[in-house]
């Protein structure tokens, strides 16, 4: 499968308003003893958001409002009814902080990676006024697992710089970060990578980082520029590719047009 996704497909429900689909047929997680109201030792912001650290994190960096985050969470109404839980599904979620309820956008920025925090979110910062959503103050236990920052548009996205390597096919590339390995994949290898792709006008059209999961694929089943370019790399390396139209999607309907630019991190060669 060629490495492509549509950005609007990342967040089917998040893009509308907030969190993933509410819990159905999940084993309820018992509510915390202070679910009805924040305790005296909770921090309360000017907006009315109250929070309390349940366990300290290991990181030092805080997410920003335009970051993606990977989290585990459980949500209750103040009468103790659980309405949603990634913990109950045993599946963390990746979401953009600028596309969730305001209480999450504010509250997650207080956290560091590894931290668990309880949030008491007033209705005005949650779903009040939106039908088929839980109303009133909502309580969430949130664990921040990771901050996922999609790379900004490269300054040389419009064309390869003079120090880029160019092959006979016209594929241009430049090492952004040297690797730690010595092996190169072959054109038949399976590889695990993180990548972000842009058109030459700087529009991002695809990113495994935004999904929170590296991509795994065979190099015979991707665009020709990847089949040629990834074997130039070693494990741990990050490289930028400028892939001519003829080595990309060649005008296929519904695919990004023209030269494409990819930043690729080769995480692992899983099969040579």
Given the residues 5, 29, 83, 176, select the one marked as catalytic.
83
For this structure, is 61 an active site residue?
no
Sign of CA dihedral 216, 220, 222, 224: positive
Token digits for 61?
A: 């960096």
For this structure, is 217 an active site residue?
no
Rounded distance, CA 83 to CA 138, Å?
10
Given the residues 10, 11, 140, 217, select the one marked as catalytic.
140
For this structure, is 83 an active site residue?
yes
Given the residues 10, 11, 121, 127, select the one marked as catalytic.
127
- Residues forming beta bridges with residue 242, ordered by sequence position: 172, 261
For this structure, is 127 an active site residue?
yes
Given the residues 10, 84, 206, 230, select the one marked as catalytic.
84
Given the residues 10, 11, 73, 262, select the one marked as catalytic.
73
Q: Which residues of 178-217 are buried (b: 16+ CB within 10 A; e: fewer)?
A: ebeeeebbeeebbbbbbbbbbbeeeebebbbbbbbeebeb
The DSSP symbol for 131 reads T
Given the residues 10, 101, 206, 267, select the one marked as catalytic.
101
- Catalytic residue list: 73, 83-84, 101, 127, 140
């Amino acid at each position: 499968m060629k490495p492509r996704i549509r950005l609007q497909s990342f967040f089917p429900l998040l893009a509308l308003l907030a969190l993933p689909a509410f819990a159905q047929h999940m084993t309820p997680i018992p509510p915390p003893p202070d679910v009805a109201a924040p305790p005296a030792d909770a921090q309360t912001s000017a907006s009315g958001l109250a929070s309390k650290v349940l366990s300290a994190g290991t990181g030092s960096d805080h997410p920003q409002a335009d970051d993606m985050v990977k989290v585990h969470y459980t949500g209750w109404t103040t009468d103790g009814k659980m309405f949603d839980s990634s913990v109950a599904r045993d599946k963390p979620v990746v979401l953009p902080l600028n596309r969730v309820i305001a209480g999450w956008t504010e509250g997650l920025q207080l956290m560091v990676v590894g931290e668990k925090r309880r949030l008491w979110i007033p209705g005005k910062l949650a779903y009040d006024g939106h039908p088929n959503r839980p109303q009133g103050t909502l309580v969430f236990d949130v664990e921040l697992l990771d901050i996922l920052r999609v790379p900004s548009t490269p300054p040389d996205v419009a064309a390869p710089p003079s120090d880029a390597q160019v092959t006979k096919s016209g594929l241009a590339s430049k090492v952004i970060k040297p690797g730690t390995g010595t092996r190169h994949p072959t054109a038949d290898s399976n590889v695990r990578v993180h990548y972000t792709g842009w058109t030459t006008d700087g529009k991002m059209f695809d990113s495994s980082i935004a999904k929170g999961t590296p991509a795994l694929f065979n190099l015979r089943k991707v665009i020709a520029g990847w089949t040629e370019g990834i074997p130039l790399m070693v494990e741990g390396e990050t490289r930028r590719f400028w892939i001519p139209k003829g080595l990309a999607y060649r005008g296929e309907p519904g695919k990004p047009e023209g030269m494409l630019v990819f930043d690729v991190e080769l995480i692992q060669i899983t099969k040579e």
